[in-house]
Amino acid sequence: MSTAEETARGDDQPWAEVGPEAARRLLVAAVEAFAERGYHATTTRDIAGRAGMSPAALYIHYKTKEELLHRISRIGHEKALEILETAADGDGTPSERLAAAVRSFVRWHAGHHMTARVVQYELDALGDEHRTEIVGLRRRSDDTVRRIIDDGVRTGEFDVPYVPGTALAVLSLCIDVARWFNVEGRSTPDEVGVFYADLVLRMVTAPDRARK
C-alpha cells in the first residue's frame, strides 16, 4: 500500500491538517521516499520529483529535508498520543480502556505502517531541538499507558511486577506491527488490533493471581 492509498482510506487521516495541498503532497512524497530508501539516502530533489514539483517549489513550503521529517514525526507522534489519550480518558474499566488503547494503536500502526516506520525508525536523524520535542511526546504516550495500568492495579484488575516496563512492552508490541504488517497478509488492521488487545490483557493479569 502506498502512502497515497493510506491517505485515501481516510481512517485516522494523519495529513488532513497539512495545507496547502502542495505542502501535503510533498509530505506524502517524503514519507514514501523515506520509507523506501531511508532518510539519509533521500534528497529534496527526489521528494519534489515524486510530488511532480520542482525543487524550488519544495523550498516554498519546507526549508530543509529535516523540516519535512520533523513535520512527519510530529504529526505521527501527536496522532499516536491522541489515540492513547482518547482510550485512557474513555469510559469503562481499566481492562476496557487498555484494550481500546491497544486496538486503536495497533490499527494505526498497521493501517499506516509506512508512516509509522518513518516516525519510529528515523528519530536519530532529527536535529537536537526537534528530537527533544518528539521525545517529550513519546514520554506522554508512555505516561498515558502507565496511567491506565496504574488504574487497573489500584482496582485489582491488573497485577504487574513493574508498571513502567510493562507499559513500554505494551507500546513496543504495538509499534512493531508497523515492521511486519503486510497488507497482502491474511489479517486486517482491525483483526490484529483485537488479537493484540487480548494478548495485552493476558500480560497484565498474573496467572497466579487469576487462579486465586
The DSSP code for 16 is T
Based on the shown chain and the rule CB under 8 A, indicate whether residue 207 belongs to the binding site for a copy of itself. Answer: yes
Could you give the CA distance from residue 27 to residue 31 in angstroms, rounded to a whole number? Answer: 6
Based on the shown chain and the rule CB under 8 A, indicate whether residue 139 belongs to the binding site for a copy of itself. Answer: no
The DSSP code for 186 is S
Could you give the CA distance from residue 86 to residue 95 in angstroms, rounded to a whole number? Answer: 15
**Binder of a copy of itself out of 82, 169, 188, 190 (CB under 8 A):** 169
**Binder of a copy of itself out of 47, 167, 196, 197 (CB under 8 A):** 196
Nearest CB to a copy of itself, comparing residues 15 and 34: 34
What angle, 0 to 180 degrees and rounded to 10, lies between the N-to-C axes of helices 113-121 and 94-111? 100
Among 35-43, 48-56, 59-67, 144-152, the segment contacting a copy of itself (CB under 8 A) = 35-43
- Which positions from 108 through 137 interact with a copy of itself, judged by CB under 8 A? 120-121, 124
Based on the shown chain and the rule CB under 8 A, indicate whether residue 203 belongs to the binding site for a copy of itself. Answer: yes
Q: What secondary structure, in 3-state letters, does 10-66 show?
A: CCCCCCCCCCCHHHHHHHHHHHHHHHHHCCCCCCHHHHHHHCCCCHHHHHHHCCCHH
**Binder of a copy of itself out of 146, 176, 188, 190 (CB under 8 A):** 176
Q: At which residue does the C-alpha cell 482510550 appear? A: 87
Site residues (vs a copy of itself, CB under 8 A): 36-41, 120-121, 124, 161-162, 165-166, 168-169, 172-173, 175-177, 179-180, 187, 195-196, 198-199, 201-208, 210-211
